[in-house]
Amino acid sequence: MLPVYAFPDSTVPRFTLPADWPATPAAAQALQAQLAAQVRTVDDLPPVQAVAGVDVGFVENNQVARAAIAVLSYPDLQLQDQSVAYLPVDFPYIPGLLSFREIPVILAALNQLTQLPDLLLCDGQGIAHPRRCGIACHLGLLTGIPAIGVAKSRLVGHHAPVPDCRGAWQPLTDRGEVIGAALRTRPGTNLLYVSPGHRISLATSITYVLQCTRHYRLPETTRLAHKLASRRPDPYQCELL
């Protein structure tokens, strides 16, 4: 059995779950509707000197969640800090409610960092969500850290064809509202679906995603977090990649 995350003795947790964290899908949907009204999609960022990517996966027959976070300097994208955390999963898999499976372990991983990022690039949705509150929104609201949703697939909305060149994009719309962008980060590859999470606009979200993407389709933040998660003999003994 993989070890369960515990705060180091010398560390005071920065982030904790609310006491009324939902335990049922109905309560989770109600909370999303409530939180959506608090999301800010205007630029309210500090000077960005560190960006972070989060990779969440499931092990032990999907009973344990694993979060890996890679913090990179910005704009040169050099690895500065990292963490891996594990927690048991106690919320069912339901599309549109993935944040309730993933956020507890992400907060645990954030609390292990020695350097918090100025901006989070989340592998998931921001406001491009049926209730306009994807994981990037939820995480941004809980932590106060500006956040962007950078999803590999579309959850909701539609868009026009996107030209096959780096930086091309089309608005992602749903029910008459622009909720994100279908973005081409590399010719000949699938699109990414970018949407604001919290404290950032769509235009600025696109800019940061492109600036964090070098030779591959995915941002370096996402790639390094996944690499960290994939090469861990011991989640408490990971060396800098």
Q: pTM score, two decimals?
A: 0.90
Look at residue 20 and tell me if it is in a domain: no
Look at residue 238 and tell me if it is in a domain: no
Average per-residue pLDDT for the chain: 90
Look at residue 98 and tell me if it is in a domain: yes
* Euclidean distance between CA atoms 35 and 78, whole angstroms: 33
Rg (CA), the chain: 17
Look at residue 8 and tell me if it is in a domain: no
**pLDDT, tens digit (0-9, with 9 covering 90-100), for 181-206:** 999 999 999 999 999 999 999 999 99
* Euclidean distance between CA atoms 66 and 22, whole angstroms: 20
Residue 61's CATH number: 3.30.2170.10
Element (H, E) at 221: helix 220-230
Query: What confidence score (pLDDT) does residue 231 get?
Result: 61
**pLDDT, tens digit (0-9, with 9 covering 90-100), for 121-158:** 999 999 999 999 999 999 999 999 999 999 999 999 99
| Tokens (6 digits) for 123 | 């592998």
Asked if 128 and 180 count as a contact pair (C-beta separation under 8 A), the reply is: yes
> Which residue in 64, 78, 76, 141 sits closest to 115, CA to CA?
78
The residue range of the domain holding 160 is: 39-230
Burial of 154: CB neighbours in 10 Å, binned 0-12, 13-18, 19+: middle
Helix count (H) and strand count (E) of the chain? 5, 8
* Euclidean distance between CA atoms 149 and 137, whole angstroms: 8
**pLDDT, tens digit (0-9, with 9 covering 90-100), for 65-81:** 999 999 999 999 999 99
**pLDDT, tens digit (0-9, with 9 covering 90-100), for 204-241:** 999 999 999 999 999 999 999 998 877 644 343 334 44
Look at residue 69 and tell me if it is in a domain: yes
Is residue 5's pLDDT more than 70?
Answer: no
Q: Please name the residues in contact with 234: beta carbons below 8 A apart, sequence gap of 6 or more.
A: none
Look at residue 32 and tell me if it is in a domain: no
Written as one letter, the residue type at 114 is T
Look at residue 235 and tell me if it is in a domain: no
**pLDDT, tens digit (0-9, with 9 covering 90-100), for 19-66:** 999 999 999 999 999 999 999 999 999 999 999 999 899 988 889 999
**pLDDT, tens digit (0-9, with 9 covering 90-100), for 9-21:** 444 458 999 999 9
Look at residue 148 and tell me if it is in a domain: yes
Query: What confidence score (pLDDT) does residue 240 get?
Result: 46
Q: Please name the residues in contact with 86: beta carbons below 8 A apart, sequence gap of 6 or more.
A: 2, 3, 4, 5, 59, 64, 65, 66, 105, 108, 235
- Counted domains in the chain: 1
**What percent of the chain has a predicted confidence (pLDDT) above 90?**
84
